[in-house]
Amino acid sequence: MADVVLVEGLAVETVIGVYDWEREITQRLLVDLEMAWDNRVPAASDDVADALDYAAVSERVSQCIQALQPQLIETAAEAVATMLQQDFGVSWLRITVNKPGAVPAATSVGVRIERGQR
């Protein structure tokens, strides 16, 4: 399946980080998602119930990370992947989690993972 649903630059304000000072503040993560979905079905029905609802996905991704308050962005990415596969039935996904403020000399740092089969 070549079709995907995209979420790009989803800003998530959360407690995240390894160091003690990071546990006392919130920081911004930017999340990009590519999720396999057969978009021919919602295109034919014109019904959001047949679509992978990017608004619902975005809300759940934010909730997932904010509830977890992980130390590592790797942990955030893995938790989001598991949630999307289990709760939304996404068979394949690519997730990028950026932490733009983490390394002042870099525009951003982040991780990217792929899970499932296309």
Ligand X SMILES: Nc1nc2c(c(=O)[nH]1)N=C([C@H](O)[C@@H](O)CO)CN2
Of the pair 22, 53, the CB lying nearest ligand X is at: 22
* Residue 34 interacts with ligand X (CB under 6 A): yes or no: no
CA distance 27 to 97: 13
* Residue 30 interacts with ligand X (CB under 6 A): yes or no: no
By CB under 6 A, the count of residues binding ligand X is 9
Q: For residue 64, give both structure tokens.
A: 């997932």
Q: Which of 17, 29, 35, 93: binder of ligand X (CB under 6 A)?
A: 17
- Per the document, the length of the chain is 118
CA distance 52 to 42: 9
* Residue 102 interacts with ligand X (CB under 6 A): yes or no: yes
Q: Which of 7, 22, 38, 66: binder of ligand X (CB under 6 A)?
A: 22
Among the options 99, 109, 110, 117, which is catalytic? 99
Beta strands (DSSP E) in 1-118 are 4-14, 27-36, 92-98, 110-116
CA distance 45 to 21: 50
Q: Which of 12, 29, 36, 73: binder of ligand X (CB under 6 A)?
A: 73
DSSP tag of 101: T
The answer to whether 99 is a known catalytic residue is yes
Q: Which residue numbers are catalytic?
A: 99
Which residues bind to ligand X, rule: CB under 6 A? Answer: 17-19, 22, 72-74, 99, 102
